[in-house]
């Protein structure tokens, strides 16, 4: 048996086969082939497989997010049926080259053609051509879309995972994550938590290929990763897993109950989501609403900006599914660890202190306006609220509100129905917490982002695994800033919640209730646990 320790991200146990995930750095290589007819057949078979995948994706999106959003897969399928595109690829094969190279050549040629057109709609198809070509090349090269090729759910072990890689993974294929690098507050860890999967980060081990297929145990209680454990140890872990499952089942009884302390103090317990499909888990956990929809995940794992229509479909789907429950949509928080190539952001010395979140939105209002238009249009379908990340000044909030007014006015003229939308800000910089008395006069609510508030207050990079021990999440400086923010919110008559990971720390639930925090927004997997902690106070 091999045993390694890591930092646990979710307290749970997974037992299953190990899958070593490696980043795909596949590069198409031009090779000469001898049998052009056979290669052409290989090409057309791959195109057929791609079309089948797109049909399945269309149907899945139709069921989950509606027709508007599903449409893109239909468009991709139509592009794959385009005779000119197929002829161009086939002719490269007939010249004697491999199918991967042929598809890449035809893809580049057609993408350039579309990009040079005057019509905005046609221009935007350039990215789609690249997308479909990449799909066919992946099929030809035998690379699965999310990098995980397995018939049974597995324990994914990787050196590190970016948020973009994690967001693409199919949860049904995964039992747990183990990464050699990474920190517990990174967005990858947050995603694992939102998928309700046991996960260890910063696991001290040497990755070798021979772990593939071996039996592993991820113990998120003890922060242990075991490879090929002896039967007696495996039996113990199975018992522990059964106990964990039984505890989860016991929490189920709290569904439908109030989040109220023994002495009658009430607090909202909401869920954090990153993707439209996460709503299912939030509803399943009986969350009172969505306290943080990390909308930037709609921008990750793709090659071009999500359009207003695509975003509208996503927000509408979430709002409709949540019915009369509140949904707080956070405008995009791209930057720092959430990197997206098509934003063309310059490399920075200190990305966490750099060009991210609202700073990008105020500098490039066209991106911001597209998102705000989509949210306001979707507001007609539920109870939307919007919050803005990384605020440091009242001037920023005033500018944000001007842009919001402009968007509302334009949509009004265009005849879109809209509902009242609460506007709030995240308090996740010490500056915002310190001037929260001033900021409170400008907005309807505060949501305290303790992940960033902790990193900026303690000057500890949340991505830096070496500093995890310095990162005291219960540090009095952070707790005082939280208390001060809540007091200033209440003085101005607005509500204040916490949506950072600390909200799920049940050692602090009583402290937060005593501070008067109005809402705690946590991953769906923690909703019932926090509800229990609230109900246990003075019970
Ligand atoms: C936070 O900083 O606490 C927060 C909720 O935002 P994110 O983790 O997405 O930066
Ligand atoms: Mg943050």
Read off the pLDDT of residues 4-27 as tens digits, 9 standing for 90 and up.
999 998 889 999 999 999 877 778
For residue 182, the CA-to-ligand 2 centroid distance in Å is 17
Q: Whose CA is nearest to atom 3 of ligand 1?
A: 449
Q: Does the beta carbon of 449 lie inside 6 Å of ligand 1?
A: yes
Ligand 2 centroid to Cα of residue 47, in Å, is 41
Cα 389 to averaged position of ligand 1 atoms, centre (Å): 8
3-state class (DSSP) for residue 271: strand
Q: Which of 191, 499, 517, 520 to mutate to test the pocket of ligand 1 (most atoms within 8 A of CB)?
A: 499
Residue 452 C-alpha to ligand 1 middle, in angstroms? 6
pLDDT at 321: 96
Measured by CA distance, the residue closest to atom 1 of ligand 1 is: 449
CA distance 391 to 213: 47
CA nearest neighbour of 134 among 111, 161, 158, 164:
111
Return the sign of the alpha-carbon dihedral for residues 334, 378, 411, 403.
negative
Does 296 contact ligand 1 (Cβ within 6 A)?
Answer: no
What pLDDT shows up at residue 33?
94
DSSP, res 307: P
Residue 291 Cβ inside 6 Å of ligand 1? The answer reads no
Region class of 351: left (phi > 0), else alpha (psi between -120 and 50), else beta = alpha
- For 231, the token pair is 């039967």
| Cα 347 from Cα 372, distance rounded (Å) | 27
Q: Is the CB of 499 under 6 A from ligand 1?
A: yes
Of the listed 69, 76, 361, 499, which one is catalytic? 499
* Closest ligand relative to 449 C-alpha: 1
Q: Report the distance separating Cα 375 and Cα 391, nearest Å.
A: 20
* Most informative mutation of 273, 360, 387, 426 for ligand 1 (most atoms within 8 A of CB): 426
| Secondary structure of 322-379 as H, E, C letters | HCCCEEEEECCCCECCECCHHHCCCCCCCHHHCCCCHHHHHHCHHHHHHHHHHHHHHH
Q: Which pLDDT does position 68 carry in this prediction?
A: 66
pLDDT in tens, 413-468: 999 999 999 999 999 999 999 999 999 999 999 999 999 999 999 999 988 888 87
Query: 475 an active-site residue?
Result: no
452 lines ligand 1 (CB under 6 A): yes
Structure confidence at residue 375 (pLDDT): 98
DSSP 177: E
Question: With a cut of 70, which residues of the chain have pLDDT below it?
Answer: 64-66, 68-69, 164
CB neighbour list of residue 438: distance below 8 Å, 6 or more residues apart: 394
Atom of ligand 1 nearest to the CA of 449: 3
Best residue among 294, 328, 457, 523 to mutate for probing ligand 1, ranked by most atoms within 8 Å of CB: 294
Q: What is the 352 CA–ligand 1 centroid distance (Å)?
A: 12
Structural tokens at position 178: 């183990």
pLDDT for the residue numbered 20 = 93
Cα–Cα distances (Å) from 442 to 303, 391, 413, 424, 529, in that order, read 36, 12, 26, 9, 34
Q: State if residue 451 touches ligand 1 by the CB under 6 angstroms criterion.
A: yes
Give the per-residue pLDDT at 304.
Answer: 86
Ligand 1 atom 4, closest CA: 449
Closest to 291 measured CA to CA, from 268, 313, 314: 268
Element (H, E) at 515: helix 509-515
Q: Where are the beta strands (DSSP E) in 1-79?
A: 2-5, 7-10, 13-20
* Rounded alpha-carbon distances, angstroms, from residue 168 to 164, 173, 274, 371: 7, 12, 12, 22
Across the beta sheet with 224-227, what order do the strands follow? 2-5, 224-227, 215-219, 13-20, 154-158, 174-179, 199-201, 7-10
Residue nearest to atom 8 of ligand 1 (CA): 451
Q: Which helix (H) or strand (E) holds 279?
A: helix 278-284
Ligand 1 in reach of 337 Cβ (< 6 A): no
Say which residue the tokens 């052009």 belong to: 36
Marked catalytic residue, from 69, 76, 187, 361: 187
Strand ranges inside 194-284, DSSP E: 199-201, 215-219, 224-227, 268-273
Q: Are 527 and 506 in contact (CB under 8 A)?
A: no
Look at ligand 1, atom 6, and give the residue with the nearest C-alpha: 449
- Please name the residue that has the structure tokens 């994550």: 177
Tell which atom from ligand 1 comes closest to the C-alpha of 501: 3
Tokens for 514?
């005593």
Is residue 187 flagged as an active site residue? yes
Q: What separation in Å is there between the alpha carbon of 455 and the centre of ligand 2? A: 9
Take residue 469 and report the two structure tokens written for it: 């021990």
Give the 3-state secondary structure of residue 288.
coil
333 lines ligand 1 (CB under 6 A): yes
**451 C-alpha to center of ligand 2: Å?**
6
Please return the burial class of 185, using the count of CB atoms within 10 Å of its CB with bins 0-12, 13-18 and 19+.
buried
Q: Which ligand is nearest to the CA of 294?
A: 1
On whether the CB atoms of residues 214 and 237 are closer than 8 A, the answer is: no
Calculate the alpha carbon distances from 358 to 201, 339, 363, 498 in Å: 29, 15, 8, 19
Rounded to whole angstroms, the Cα distance separating 423 from 334 reads 20
The predicted pLDDT at position 443 comes to 98
Q: What is the pLDDT of residue 165?
A: 76
Question: 63 CA to middle of ligand 1, Å?
Answer: 30
Phi then psi dihedrals of residue 514, to 5 deg: -65, -30
What letters, b where the CB count within 10 A reaches 16 and e where it falls short, cover 407-443?
A: bbeebeeeebebeebbbbbbbbbbebbbbbeebbebb
Q: Is 497 in the pocket of ligand 1 (CB under 6 A)?
A: no
CA of 333 to the centre of ligand 1 (A): 9
Query: pTM score, two decimals?
Result: 0.78
CA 245 – CA 241 distance, rounded (Å) = 6
Nearest ligand 1 atom to alpha carbon 185: 8
Could you identify the residue written with the tokens 């509140």? 326
The secondary structure of residue 225, as a DSSP letter, is E
Residue located via tokens 């660890």:
337
The confidence score (pLDDT) of residue 437 equals 98
Distance, in Å, from the CA atom of 224 to the CA atom of 117, rounded to the nearest integer, reads 56
Q: Which atom of ligand 1 is nearest to the CA of 499?
A: 5
Handedness of CA 65, 71, 74, 75 (dihedral sign): negative
pLDDT value of position 192: 81
């Amino acid at each position: 048996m091999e045993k390694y320790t890591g930092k646990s991200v979710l307290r749970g146990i997974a037992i299953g086969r190990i899958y070593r995930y490696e980043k795909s750095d596949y590069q198409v290589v031009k090779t000469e082939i001898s049998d052009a007819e056979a290669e052409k057949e290989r090409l057309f078979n791959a195109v057929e497989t791609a079309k089948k995948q797109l049909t399945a994706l269309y149907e899945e999106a139709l069921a989950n997010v509606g027709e508007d959003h599903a449409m893109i897969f239909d468009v991709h399928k139509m592009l794959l049926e385009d005779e000119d595109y197929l002829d161009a690829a086939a002719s490269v094969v007939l010249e004697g080259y491999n199918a991967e190279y042929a598809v890449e050549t035809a893809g580049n040629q057609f993408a350039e053609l579309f990009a040079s057109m005057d019509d905005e709609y046609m221009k935007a198809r350039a990215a789609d051509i690249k997308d479909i070509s990449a799909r066919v090349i992946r099929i030809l090269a035998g690379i699965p879309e999310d990098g995980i090729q397995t018939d049974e759910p597995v324990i994914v072990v990787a050196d590190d995972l970016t948020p973009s890689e994690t967001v693409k993974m199919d949860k049904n294929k995964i039992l747990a994550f183990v990464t050699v690098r990474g920190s517990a507050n990174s967005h990858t860890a947050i995603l694992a938590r939102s998928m309700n999967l046991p996960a260890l980060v910063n696991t001290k081990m040497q990755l070798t290929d021979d772990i593939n297929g071996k039996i592993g145990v991820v113990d998120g209680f003890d922060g242990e990763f075991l490879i090929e454990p002896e039967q007696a140890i495996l039996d113990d872990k199975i018992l522990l897993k059964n106990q964990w499952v039984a505890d989860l089942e016991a929490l189920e009884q709290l569904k439908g109950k109030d989040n109220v302390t023994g002495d009658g103090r009430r607090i909202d317990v909401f869920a954090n989501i990153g993707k439209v499909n996460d709503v299912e888990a939030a509803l399943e956990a009986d969350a009172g609403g969505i306290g943080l929809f990390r909308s930037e995940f709609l921008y990750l794992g793709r090659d071009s900006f999500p359009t207003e229509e695509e975003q509208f479909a996503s927000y509408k789907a979430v709002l409709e599914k949540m019915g009369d429950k509140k949904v707080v949509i956070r405008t995009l928080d791209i930057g720092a660890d959430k990197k997206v190539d098509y934003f063309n952001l310059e490399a920075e010395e200190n990305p966490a202190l750099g060009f991210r979140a609202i700073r990008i939105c105020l500098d490039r209002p066209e991106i911001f306006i597209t998102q705000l238009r989509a949210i306001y249009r979707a507001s007609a379908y539920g109870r939307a609220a919007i919050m803005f990340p990384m605020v440091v000044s009242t001037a920023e909030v005033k500018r944000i509100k001007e842009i919001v007014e402009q968007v509302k006015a334009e949509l009004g003229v265009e005849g879109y129905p809209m509902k009242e939308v609460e506007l709030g800000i995240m308090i996740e910089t010490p500056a915002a917490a310190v001037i929260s008395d001033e900021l409170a006069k400008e907005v309807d609510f505060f949501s305290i982002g303790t992940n960033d508030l902790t990193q900026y207050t303690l000057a500890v990079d949340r991505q830096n695994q070496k500093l995890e021990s310095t990162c005291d999440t219960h540090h009095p400086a952070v707790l005082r800033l939280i208390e001060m923010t809540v007091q200033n919110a209440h003085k101005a008559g607005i509500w204040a919640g916490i949506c950072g990971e600390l909200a799920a720390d049940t050692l602090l639930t009583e402290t937060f209730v005593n501070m008067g925090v109005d809402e705690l927004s946590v991953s769906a997997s923690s909703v019932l646990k926090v509800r229990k902690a609230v109900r246990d106070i003075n019970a």
